[in-house]
Each structure stands twice: as structure tokens, then as C-alpha cells.
Amino acid sequence: GVLVGGHRSVWGSFFDAERKCWGYACCRSSAKAEACPLHKVQEVAADSSEDEDPAAAKAERLWKAGKHLDHPPPATVEPRSSFPTSEEYLYQFVLYWFHSWEKSDGPEKPDAKALQHNREALLVLMEQLQQKDQKLPEPASRSRVDRQRHRDAVSAQVAQKAFLSSLADFCELASDREYAKANDVYIGFTIGKATWHSHLDLGEQRAHWGGGCSLRTMQKQTIQKDHANASLFDSDPAVQRYVHALKRIVTHMQGVQPSADPSKQGHVPAPIPDPSETGVPMMRDIRASDGTCREPEGVCPDEAYQVSRDRGLAFGSESGKAHPFAGIGNARGV
């Protein structure tokens, strides 16, 4: 075969079993007429020294990480039991439902900014799902510091795998249209068992009078964040972003295929109301910009409002007093 387009392998050296088509083994691309996207990276790696090879490898890894959501989605999401691991199930779930959300029309159609924000967050998740479990090397020495670092790394790896399994549980329940139970799982790995999710500053002011003393003191107390029970959601901003993005996808999913049982419905965004149902918006506050007090306009435009006035009810009666809250009248005739 002849190498063309900067490819290091010939056409037909790679077969994509999912898409049922042939491609190039060097870049896993199935577009026969396109040049190799890794050609420039390969040239940089060939001309660089050994010290620059990690940079080229990182560039190639980042390029591949940004292509996860460019793959065509599967025709349907198979049950979780048909996948060997939870990571593979979660990968296909995100790929399918992100494309479904991206192509939605009407009021549910996301804007470009929200779409890009969630795409960037989910790419981090999908890159983690593609990473295989690797056995961590033994510590370089038997010192207490190195052994502790090794134990922390192992604990972090176990926590990451458990967290991804919880995400798969969340998606599986949503696929079964058990949205209420899915919300319970979501609350479990976002709120969890932590008592405080951030530092809480408390303070007490004291005044010391008498005997010629006019001293004021301030005692401050800070309740530390609960690090012992904190989850990855509490400690990693990247995890927070892709968890929120995943929840947004499940919310879209609930609108596309709602549960027939109302008791299984979870959180659903309120539909956009018809303008005829919202009444006239209140344009002025009870206290006008010129400092005078006035009754709000358009609080209740229907005929029942006149009936309430006939009964002697007043929402905000006018007043000539200078107090800021003088415009808030008392309800009369109740």
C-alpha cells in the first residue's frame, strides 16, 4: 500500500467495530480523504529530543481527549448488564444522551454557551472513563512519607472507581425512568454525609462599658469544612462541573421520556408560562424613584382585584410619611 496524507499506516489497517467501517490504524480515523490529524504531532516528535517527547505525547493525548464527543452516538443505550464494566456503560450513556440534548428543538434547545460549557465538562469525565486501571508502583523507599503517599494514591484510586460506579447507578436508574430514585443517588454523592461543605465563620461582638472604658471586642470562630466525609464532588472542581453536566443531561432525558408513574418523577424544570397567565409585570416598587409612595401597578389585572378593593382590602395604600416602609399598607377589612 501507499502512505498518503501524512498517515503512518495504509487505508484498511484499522476496522471500527462500532461504526462498521475501515480506517487508518495510526489515528483511528475512518475518513479516507482527510489528512492524518496526528501528522504535525508526529513531525514535532521526530524532530525533538528525548526531553521533548513527553510534550508531544501530551499533545496527542489532549487531541484524542477532545474527540470523545465527536464520535457518532450509538443507535440506543444497551442495559448496564450488557457491558463488562460500569465505565463502558457510562461512556455510551453520555455519548448517546449528549447528542440527543444537542439536537433537541423548541424550548428545550440549549444555547451555544451552555452546550460548550457542558461539553468541556463531560470531556473530562469521558477521558477518565477511558483510562484503564493501572497498578500503582511501589514506593521508591520504605520511608514513612513515601509509604503514606502510596497509601493516599491507592485510596484516591479506589474512591475514584467507587464514585464512577455511583454515577453509573444514577444513569441506570434514569434509563429505567426511576427519576426519583436517581435523585436520591445524586444527593448521596453531592451532599453525602459531610456536616459542613465549606468553612463557616461565626463571630460575637461585645461592648465593655463603665469605669471610663468604652472598648468593643470581636470574638471570631471558624467551623472547618468536614474533610473527613467530603466526597470527590466537594474537593475537585472538575468533578463538580461534569456532575452538574450529567444532571443536566438526565433532566433533558426526563423531558424526552418521562415516567408514566407520577411517583417516580424527579425534578422537572417548570414549563415556560404563557404570557396570558403571568399578568402584567410590576414595573415600579411601592416606593417610587422620586421618593413618593405609591400603589404598585399591575399587581392583579383581573376583575377579582376590583372585588377585593370593594371589600376594603389594600395591598399598598398611599402614605405621606417619610419612613422607607411607609408605603406598605396594612390589610384592612380581613
Q: Encode pLDDT of 173-223 as tens digits.
A: 999 999 999 998 888 888 777 776 677 777 777 776 666 666 777 777 777
Categorize the per-residue pLDDT at 170 as very low, low, confident or very high, splitting at 50, 70 and 90.
very high
Give the pLDDT score at 112: 84
Give the three cell numbers for residue 160: 475514584
In whole angstroms, give the CA distance from residue 117 to residue 242. 10
Dihedral, CA atoms, 176, 240, 129, 8, nearest 10 degrees? 130
User: Is residue 23 within a helix (H) or strand (E), and if so which, with residue range?
Assistant: strand 21-23
Strands 213-223, 200-210: pairing is antiparallel
Is there a contact between 55 and 46 (Cβ–Cβ < 8 Å)? no
Q: Is it the case that residue 89 has pLDDT exceeding 50?
A: yes
Q: Number of H helices and number of E strands within the chain? A: 10, 4
| Residues facing residue 22 across a β-bridge | 15
- Chain CA centroid to CA 71, Å: 21
**Which pLDDT band holds residue 90 (cuts at 50, 70, 90)?**
very high
Q: Tell whether the torsion through CA atoms of 319, 321, 323 and 324 is positive or negative.
A: positive
Look at residues 122, 138, 128 and name the one whose alpha carbon lies nearest to residue 159.
128
What integer pLDDT is reported at residue 322 of this predicted model? Answer: 45
pLDDT at 300: 47
**In this predicted structure, what is the pLDDT of residue 134?**
58
Question: What's the whole-model pTM score?
Answer: 0.56
290 band by pLDDT with thresholds 50, 70 and 90: low
Question: What is the pLDDT at residue 178?
Answer: 92
Tell me the sheet residues that pair with 206: 217
pLDDT of residue 312: 45
Mean pLDDT is highest, among 119-123, 155-159, 234-238, for 119-123
- 7-45 pLDDT, tens per residue? 777 777 777 766 777 787 777 777 777 777 666 545 544
Overall average pLDDT of the 114-126 stretch: 87
Any bridge partners for residue 209, and if so which? 214
Backbone angles phi, psi at 324, to 5 degrees: -60, -30
Residue 68 reports pLDDT greater than 70: yes
pLDDT for 6 beyond 70: yes
CA 269 – CA 267 distance, rounded (Å) = 7
pLDDT digit string, tens, across residues 223-280: 777 666 666 777 788 888 999 999 999 988 888 888 888 778 776 666 666 766 665 5
Contact 252, 97 (CB under 8 A): yes
SS (H, E, C) 200-263: EEEEEEEEEEECCEEEEEEEEEEECCCCCCCCHHHHCHHHHHHHHHHHHHHHHHHHHCCCCCHH
Percent with pLDDT over 90 in the chain: 9
Domain positions in the chain: 1-65, 69-192+233-264, 195-230, 274-334
> Cα–Cα distances in Å, from 150 out to 65, 136, 142, 143, 246?
27, 8, 10, 11, 31
Q: Span 304-312, mean pLDDT?
A: 46
Residue 102: pLDDT over 80: yes
Taking residues 285-303, what's their average pLDDT?
A: 50
What is the overall mean pLDDT for the chain?
Answer: 71
Instruction: For residue 221, list its beta bridge partners.
Output: 202
